[in-house]
Amino acid sequence: MNNKASKARAKLITMMKTYGTKSPKETGLKLVTMREEVKQTLKAGKSLDGDAVTPSQRKDLKKLLLHYRGEIDNLKNFNKTYREEKSKSE
C-alpha cells in the first residue's frame, strides 16, 4: 500500500472511531442522519425535546450543519482516494 492510500485509510479509521461505526458506508449513513436531524430542528424551530430554539442555539445548529457537510465530503474524498490508490498498487 502506498503512502496516499495509507493516509486515507488512517483518516477513514479515525472517522469510524469518532462516530462509533464499523465501515465507511455506515459512517456516511450516520452523518447523513445526524445532518437531517439538525435540518429538521432548524426548520421546525423546536428541538427534539419540544423546546423552542433560541437564536444562539440556531447559530450553533447552523455551524453543526456545516460541520456535518464537511465531514461527509471528507469521508467521500478519503474513501475515493483509498480505493483508487489501493487498486493502483495491486
CA angle 1, 69, 19 (to 5 degrees): 60
Other Cβ atoms less than 10 A from the Cβ of 72: the count is 16
CA angle 38, 44, 46 (to 5 degrees): 80
pTM of the complete model: 0.85
Q: How far apart are the first and last CA of the chain?
A: 8
pLDDT in tens, the chain (90 residues): 688 889 999 999 999 999 999 999 999 999 999 999 999 999 988 877 778 888 899 999 999 999 999 999 999 999 999 999 888 877
State the pLDDT at residue 1: 66
